[in-house]
A = this chain, B = another copy of it.
Amino acid sequence: MSETNLSPSNRVPVVERLLTANEEVAADNRVQFHQRQIKVGNIMASPGAGKTTLLLATIAAMPGRKIGVIEGDVASQVDAEMIATTGTPVVQINTGGACHLDAPMIRNAAKALPLEELELILVENVGNLICPVSFDLGQDFNVGLLSVPEGHDKPYKYPGIFEAVDLVVVTKADLLPYLDFEIDTFRTLVHGLNPDVPIFVVSAKTGEGMEDWVAWLETRLGI
């Protein structure tokens, strides 16, 4: 946003400068990752939507790929500990209260990863359907997960995330028999916000749909 768009009030310019600072660091992150030919994906979803479980299944399904993981949580390192059991390089970010990751956090976390050994970094953002959307991290692509138990009406209520993503993954598909999740309604709502976005239906538990997700990731790696 150009200087001439700044509001004359006291508060708005502060917000503008904060956003700009994040965007500058994000742009630099992107340059740093591209120079090393690393692709970065930002994975966003509600708490408990199955982000870490999908990451674990993805690591298992792509043994030939050099993957690193950055875990974002308000507190704890339980997710990073689970990823570490696979031998995958992983860094935990604790935001201490913030409801999203930002570009400086990613810059610092990346310093703790063996970047020269990696070709793909998957970032698990803080469990939240709202805040993470507004902060560029320097990623190449955004993935939005929605778990079947959350319900097919969520695009009505959280349109921003469905507009921002390059892929939607419906997780916990193994629970479809027990819940009133209308997948066709969900597709219609999502495509009303983001007409061409692919939507995969996946169960990391049973393996259903994992081949679509892995093939999509391979395409993002340029193969």
A residues bordering B, Cβ < 8 Å?
10-11, 14, 46-48, 73-76, 78-79, 97-99, 126-131, 134, 147-151, 153-154, 156-160, 172, 174-175, 178-179
Contacts and interface: CB of A to CB of B under 8 A. Distances in A.
State the copy count for this chain.
2
B99 A149 contact: no
A74 B175 CA distance: 27
A151 B48 CA distance: 6
B75 A159 contact: yes
A131 B47 CA distance: 13
Contacts of A75: 156-159
Contact of A149 (B76, B157, B172): B172
Nearest 9 CB-CB pairings of A with B: A48-B150, A149-B149, A76-B156, A99-B130, A46-B47, A73-B157, A48-B151, A46-B46, A76-B157
